[in-house]
Structure 1
Amino acid sequence: MASRKLLLLLKPLDDYAVAAQSHGLSRITNPQVVHHLESRSKVHREAIRYCQNVLRQKFVDWEPILRDNVSQPIRNVDMVVTVGGDGTLLHASHFVDDSIPLLGVNSDPTQVAEVEEFGDQYDATRSTGYLCAATVDNFEQILDDILEGQVQPSELSRIAICVNSAPLSTYALNDVLLAHSCPAAVSRFSFRIKRKGHPCSPVVNCRSSGLRVSTAAGSTAAMLSAGGYQMPILSRDLQYMIREPISPGVASNLMHGFLNPGQSMEVAWFCKEGAIYIDGCNVLYTVKDEDTLEISSKAPVLKVYLPPRLLEKGILPIRRTSDAEKLRLSHM
């Protein structure tokens, strides 16, 4: 069997206690909080060491690299293994095409007993690892299954964005937020839904806190918190929501909806400044007055080895706009 080449992408250790100390949190007097931060750093460090020891025993070539040191497309590897949480996997997704699968290792899972004991004193949660298929408890078994070809990656939709017809180089795995650069300022824009380049909805003029568009993978994140719907993980649809619309009027039924793979959203921006945030706050592009955006699922899929719980039938039921409303939109 030919040797496989892997990239081990690591969340930096100083994202935990070391970073906390350098940003002034050394003034924290609650010893339980200090212990929690130190514990998280230790658990993550031990997870990195464990994954490296496992890889040393396998018939693979591998190279470790810190997440923050990746700034160019990842090439010439058979798989990327991320050690951290969803943030590390999201970071990796911005640098791979549809030919390199990702395996996420949640290095610091939330401990239910810890949350129950200390949740009323401080935020005792750790890493959710929603898209991470492995922890230190099952990493070696899952890796063996992958290397032996017993499991295949799933294909997740991503979001493509064009600004003034020029495609952005980064695809969103979770969501895109278009908003004014100042969070307290009003975002002014209009949008309409298009199918195969032709309008299939009226133009909707908006004054709001911005526009969010999510994939199925991102529908359990900010979209769900804002009142959106949880989507089946392998859905090819996108979900959009106007954030805090001001006087939506007759267009209120278009403030939240879905785009199928054949549809796109055309947005015209009418503020002097604005920003497109991709998968959180670390990747952003600026926009200016009269810029035009196209948002769609025309991005290459992302191949990810997912936790079995996400693929079980019925685990992520979708509640959505009525079939009649969707049919009306598709024929306008």
Structure 2
Amino acid sequence: MSARRRVLLLLKPLDVYPTRPPVPPKSPSSSSVAQKILSYLNDRIRVHKETINFCKDVLQRKSVNWEPLLRNNLSQPVRHVDLVITVGGDGTLLQASHFLDDSVPILGVNSDPTQADEVNAFRNEFDATRSTGYLCAATAGNFEQVLDEILEGHKLPSQLSRISVSLNGHRLPTYALNDILAAHPCPASVSRFSFRIKRGAEMSSPLVNCRSSGLRVSTAAGSTAAMLSAGGFRVPTSSNVLQYMVREPISLGPVESSRLHGSIEPDQSMQIAWYNQEGVMYFDGSHVQYSIQHGDSIELSALAPILKVYLSQRDSTNDIF
């Protein structure tokens, strides 16, 4: 008889949107819209909590050993499990990815997916968008089916590339699954840096000197996040090509401007010299940050362990990230 699978259930906390008390009827803010917003926020908590309880009930019925853990309590590399299941959204999966190597696959459950009819109903009153969950292959509606396919070996994980970062010659222990942003910690301040693309010991591009709002580098999985919003291009999820873009550059000549957005091939790296007194590298949003300062040398490449992620059939076949 085979050993029981070991599963870590990683949970987004319930207090992300604290429960709001009802607005008193005679309150100055007791407008219809205010009431709807409060009801919407409280409903998000309810739906998330119900999804957590549902996933726990499903796991309880399966032949697996599992334990729950709040994502904020995850502080050590995840070892000795066969599968990590995150319940939340892309942010929870991204946070978990920073503690995983290439040996443990991960399944994301979108606990609070956006409802198109709800968005349309409140379009003229407030933004009713919930969780996008691009990286999440399951919701409460299909979690048990997806889990069974995984446990029975009928569903295999995709291998997603990540970004490796060296700071002053020392490789950092965190790998980015979506993107890295290097910028001044104050968004109103100018970021000053230079970069060039390198292949092996040879430089593949001229030095580009920048004054801008920062530099973003994304993976294939992150190419439809902030990168796409800024005018970047989609990259198939199976690719290990990185994409870079200088954010809001101060006007340059046409030759240099053409070098502010491009690709970093698997056998290349990006060499960055930082010239501000302050700076921060943000990994996959704001949860992981590394300080940088004037004179620091940064190297980015795709030479990082892949991450095994179970994607929806649509995402894994159509590469729509």
Q: TM-score, normalised by structure 1?
A: 0.91
Partner of 1:136: 140
The 3-state SS of whatever aligns with 2:177 is coil
Per-residue CA deviations over 1:48-81 (Å, capped at 9, x if unaligned) read 0000000000000000000100011111100100
* 1:177 aligns to 2:181 (yes or no): yes
Partner of 1:280: 285
The 3-state SS of whatever aligns with 1:312 is helix
The 3-state SS of whatever aligns with 2:131 is coil
* 1:31 aligns to 2:32 (yes or no): no
Partner of 1:261: 266
Q: Structure 2: 5+ residue runs without aligned partners? A: 22-26
Partner of 1:91: 95
For residue 280 of structure 2, what is the amino acid of its counterpart? A
Tell me if the contact between 2:94 and 2:284 (Cα under 8 Å) persists in the aligned partners. yes
For residue 109 of structure 2, what is the amino acid of its counterpart? V
| Structure 1 position 178, deviation (Å) | 0.4
CA 1:272 to 1:316, structure 2 compared with 1: closer, same or farther past 3 Å? same
Partner of 1:120: 124
In 2, the alpha carbon distance for the partners of 1:106 and 1:67 equals 15
Partner of 2:295: 290
Per-residue CA deviations over 1:34-60 (Å, capped at 9, x if unaligned) read 100110000000000000000000000
| Structure 1 position 142, deviation (Å) | 0.8
| Structure 1 position 181, deviation (Å) | 1.4
CA 1:5 to 1:261, structure 2 compared with 1: closer, same or farther past 3 Å? same
| Count of residues paired in the alignment | 311
Partner of 1:68: 72
* 1:164 aligns to 2:168 (yes or no): yes
In 2, the alpha carbon distance for the partners of 1:281 and 1:205 equals 26
* 1:236 aligns to 2:231 (yes or no): no
Q: Structure 1: 5+ residue runs without aligned partners? A: 318-332
Which deviates the most, 9-18 or 60-69?
Answer: 9-18
Partner of 2:15: 14
Tell me if the contact between 1:28 and 1:34 (Cα under 8 Å) persists in the aligned partners. no
CA 1:27 to 1:259, structure 2 compared with 1: closer, same or farther past 3 Å? farther
* 1:220 aligns to 2:221 (yes or no): no
For residue 257 of structure 1, what is the amino acid of its counterpart? G
The 3-state SS of whatever aligns with 1:63 is strand
Q: TM-score, normalised by structure 2?
A: 0.94
In 1, the alpha carbon distance for the partners of 2:287 and 2:170 equals 21
In 2, the alpha carbon distance for the partners of 1:274 and 1:63 equals 38
In 2, the alpha carbon distance for the partners of 1:283 and 1:202 equals 31
For residue 75 of structure 2, what is the amino acid of its counterpart? S
In 2, the alpha carbon distance for the partners of 1:66 and 1:316 equals 30
- From the two aligned structures, give the one with the greater helix fraction: 1
For residue 69 of structure 1, what is the amino acid of its counterpart? N
Partner of 2:158: 154
Tell me if the contact between 1:164 and 1:291 (Cα under 8 Å) persists in the aligned partners. yes
CA 1:28 to 1:279, structure 2 compared with 1: closer, same or farther past 3 Å? farther
The 3-state SS of whatever aligns with 1:258 is strand
The 3-state SS of whatever aligns with 1:173 is coil
CA 1:139 to 1:27, structure 2 compared with 1: closer, same or farther past 3 Å? farther
Tell me if the contact between 2:95 and 2:287 (Cα under 8 Å) persists in the aligned partners. no
% identical aligned pairs? 59
Tell me if the contact between 1:163 and 1:294 (Cα under 8 Å) persists in the aligned partners. yes
In 1, the alpha carbon distance for the partners of 2:5 and 2:152 equals 11
| Structure 1 position 247, deviation (Å) | 2.2
Partner of 2:61: 57
Per-residue CA deviations over 1:150-188 (Å, capped at 9, x if unaligned) read 111000010011110111111111100001111111111
| Structure 1 position 28, deviation (Å) | 6.4
